Amino acid sequence: DIVLYYLLQMKRSQDAGMNIILSVNSSALKEADFWDKRRAKRGDYPLYGVPVAVKGNIGTGDDQPTSAGAKALEKSFSIQDAFLVKKIREAGGIILAKTNLSEWANYMAENSANGFSALGGQTRNPYGRFDVGGSSSGSAAAVAAGLVPLAVGTETSGSIIYPSSQNSVVGLKPTVGLVSRNCIIPIAEAQDTAGPMTLSVRDAALLLSVMTGEDARDPVTGMARKAPDEYILSSDRKKPLEGIRFGLVSNRVMRQYYYREGEGAIQLRIAGELARAGAEVVFIEMDEAIYEKLDVSTVFRYQFKKGVNDYLKNWARGEGPRTLAEIIAFNRENPPERMPLGQELLIAARENTFAPDTVRETVRANARLAGECIDALRKEHHVDVLFTLSNHMSYIYAAARYPALCVPAGFKETGEPIGVTFVASAGEEELLLKAAYGYEQTTRHHNPPAALPAK
């Protein structure tokens, strides 16, 4: 009954033109029946019978294409489940559907649109005529609209955090290496990760604990050995953030290029809410020179070409192009249908001639410089957790490969959702979950959308 309910919700959303879902698992009801017959062993499976949606660039070994929203991969499937999908299924979860996204995880065109793909159309925000965020647009919107209780997104730089903020859901971008990336269509292995997108911090902690694990096909997951088997959250105090010191980060670049109307006042309101929950809050001006020191463009162009070609060679089955060059040629055959917004980034990636040693050094430099920036702010100001609105700090924490967690922080006067994002250092997911849980429990800012918005 649970799976059928969510399938009907998905149909309703598609009929309303929400364009949240790319495909539905045709075996979902059979899988639900299988778990119904194993009720006696329910306690052994933390996601027993729970429907989960995954972003359209995440591989599944079922009958759903793994397309990244591209027409070129409309009939391309994965040879097996991604490691994280396997872990979800082993925990009793039912992969119900794949969600729409900004095509190629927002690495296709210079003038892309959040939530648009040639295959899935334009994902709409369940809260109204607002930016849906990207690139994990459909995963965020699916949870917000009540199409699934749990979803998985991916992020290279802001792609879990920003849509979570825009759709009033919880989004956790883990430390790179905590969750395997195998059988996921990539942008850049230096920064790529998958992460949970849910209605509550507790659900995010549960899904993260299921998804983590060491995977021989993704060597960086060796750090998963240090992760707890379960992230345990509790809040039995009136001031659950007592003893935690937060730093509100800002600078001229954020204020000029990231802030939108009213967001300065919202940040101050959040600082007050943290203080009332027992936290100490300080204001931090971050040196804007860090933006000039980082070079992610070189890394993305080189690693996207290599990563996509490797995925198509090693993980893809079915029809469609087998190289990035073939994808570009396919799109050129029918630009209005296959690349209505262009494909400049695909071309730039294909044409890159960077030396592997140069890219490796750039990756190391980016991680070191961005990590030192975050660590120095925490040390200098004696803070445990940094915070900003939405994706204001994504460029920095993503290059550092550090974790971030966005939790609903209310709504603007227009009704547009806004989230607060907490940032810490590598491997400190437990600290972020504790901070976000305390904030969530004392503010209760999430409110579901009243109804699916009109077209």
The catalytic residue among 78, 159, 200, 250 is: 159
Instruction: Provide the pairing of β-strand 385-389 with 150-155.
Output: unpaired
Q: Against a cut of 0.95, is the pTM above it? A: yes
Alpha-carbon Rg for the chain in angstroms: 21
Domains in the chain, ordered, with CATH? 2-443 (3.90.1300.10)
Q: Which residues pair with 122 in a beta bridge?
A: 116
Percentage helix, strand, coil for the chain under 3-state DSSP, each rounded to 5? 40, 15, 40
Dihedral, CA of residue 268, residue 424, residue 367 and residue 324, to nearest 10: -80
Active site residue 200: no
The catalytic residue among 76, 102, 117, 135 is: 135
The whole-angstrom separation of Cα 281 and Cα 85 is 39
For every residue of 241-255, DSSP letters joined together read: TTT-EEEEEE-HHII
The catalytic residue among 13, 23, 55, 250 is: 55
pLDDT in tens, the chain (455 residues): 899 999 999 999 999 999 999 999 999 999 999 998 887 566 789 999 999 999 999 999 999 999 999 999 999 999 999 999 999 999 999 999 999 999 999 999 999 999 999 999 999 999 999 999 999 999 999 999 999 999 999 999 999 999 999 999 999 999 999 999 999 999 999 999 999 999 999 999 999 999 999 999 999 998 777 788 888 887 667 899 999 999 999 999 999 888 888 899 999 999 999 999 999 999 999 999 999 999 999 999 999 999 999 999 999 999 999 999 999 999 999 999 999 999 999 999 999 999 999 999 999 999 999 999 999 999 999 999 999 999 999 999 999 999 999 999 999 999 999 999 999 999 999 999 999 999 999 999 999 998 777 66
Active site residue 112: no
Q: Which residues pair with 55 in a beta bridge?
A: 99
Active site residue 159: yes
Query: Contact at 8 Å (CB) between 106 and 112?
Result: yes
Q: Which residues contact 313 (CB under 8 A, 6 or more apart)?
A: 322
The whole-angstrom separation of Cα 351 and Cα 301 is 9
